[in-house]
A and B are shown apart, each in its own frame.
Chain A
Amino acid sequence: MKKVSHPFYSALGKGALDMLPLSLAVLPWGILFGSLAIQRGFTWLEAQALSAITFGGAVQIMAVELMADGASLFTVLFSAFVISSRHFLYGLTLRERLKTQPLRWRLSLGFLLTDELFALSGHRRAYKSRLRLFYALGAGGSFYLAWNAWTFIGIIAGASLPDLTELGLDFAIAATFIALVVPSIKSLSVLVAVLVAAVCSVTFELMDIELSLVFSGLLGMTAGFTVAQWERLQ
C-alpha cells in the first residue's frame, strides 16, 4: 500500500493541476523564445538562463530582439522595467496577505509571481494558510518548470519546428481567465470594472499604446472603485 499522501503534497498537486491549462498554453511561446534566442546568436546557456532566472516571457523575447539589434544596455533594461511594471500591482494586491509570511515564502512566491500565478491568487483565503502557500507553490513552481522545459525544446529543436503560436493554444489562457473572472462578478462595481477594462484593453492594444495592460487595468479598477463609493452614498 502506498503511504497516505501528506496534505501539503496534495495542495502542491492541486496547484499544479489548476495551472495545467496555462502551462500548456504557453508551450508555443516557450518554444518560440528558445529557437528565437538561438537564431539571434545566443548560446544555449544564455537562452536557458533567461528563462531560468529572468523568467518573464515578454521581457525575454524583447531582450533577445533588442540585444541582437545592438541596443544600448539602458534601452534593454528600461524596456524590461516598463513591461514588468504591471507586477507592482500584483505585489500591492497581495501585500497584506504575504508581507507577514516567512522570508523564504515571500522570496520564492515573489520570484514565481507571474500573470499566471496572480490569476490563481483570487481566492478569499489565498496565501492565508500553509496549505494555501503550498497550493501557490505548486501552481507557480509547475508553471516555472513548464516554461523552462518548453524553452529547452525550443533551444534544441530550433527552427526545425513549425511556428505553433498560430495554433490557437492561447485560447486556453482566455478560457482560464474567463473561468476565474466570471464567478467573481458578484456586484455591479466588479461588473463595471471588468467592462471598462475590457473596452480599454482592446482599444489601447489597437492603438499600440505601450503599457496598455497597466492603463486598462487601472482604469477598470478606478471605475469599479468609483461605482462602489457611489453606491455607498446612495
Chain B
Amino acid sequence: MTMITILLLALITFTTRYLFLEGRLPIRMGAKARQFLSYSGPAILTAICMPIIFIKDHHLNVALNNPYLGAAIVAIIAAWKTGNIYWTVGLGMLVFLLYSGLSL
C-alpha cells in the first residue's frame, strides 16, 4: 500500500513538471504570455530565497546580528559588481560563516 502511494506521489510530481513540456498539448502562447512568463525566473527565485534570509522561526528578523541578512547584502553587492556566480556564492558564504561565528 505504501509503495502504491509512493508511486502515485511520483506520478503527481512528474506530471506537474512534465505537463507543459509536452508539445502535443494544445496551448499556443502569444507574445504577451511569453513576456509575462519571462519574469518567472527572477520573481520565483526571489520568492524562494527572501524567506530564508528574513524569517527565523516564523518571525521577521531584520536585526543587525542576523547573519543571513548581512551576508545576503554582501552577496547582492558581489553579484552586482562581478556578475559571477562563484565569486558571489564564495564571498557570501565566507561572510555568512564569519558572521555566524561572531554572533554565536
Contact = CB atoms under 8 A, between A and B. Distances in A.
A174 interface: yes
Interface in A151-177: 168, 170-177
Given A67-B2, A80-B12, A202-B60, A118 B44 contact: yes
- The B interface, classified by DSSP as helix, strand, loop or mixed, is helix
B102 interface: no
Contacts of A176: 85, 88-89
Interface residues of A, number: 87
A177 B49 contact: yes
Contacts of A194: 42-43, 46
Contact of A184 (B7, B21, B41): B41
Contact of A197 (B46, B71, B72): B46
B50 A182 contact: no
Given A49-B6, A91-B20, A93-B41, A84 B92 contact: no
B16 A87 contact: yes
Contacts of B88: 175-176, 178-179, 182
A182 B16 contact: no
Contact of A87 (B13, B43, B85): B13
Interface string B32-69: 10111111111111111111111100111000000110
A91 B29 CA distance: 13
Contacts of A170: 52
A193 B17 contact: no
A182 B80 contact: yes
A202 B51 contact: yes
Interface of B: 2-3, 5-10, 12-14, 16-23, 27, 29, 32, 34-55, 58-60, 67-68, 71-72, 75-76, 78-80, 83-85, 88-89, 92-93, 96, 100
28 contacts: A21-B89, A42-B2, A50-B9, A55-B13, A67-B2, A84-B16, A87-B16, A88-B16, A90-B40, A92-B20, A94-B21, A110-B14, A111-B17, A173-B48, A173-B49, A174-B92, A177-B46, A178-B76, A179-B78, A182-B76, A190-B42, A197-B46, A202-B54, A202-B55, A220-B42, A224-B42, A225-B32, A225-B39
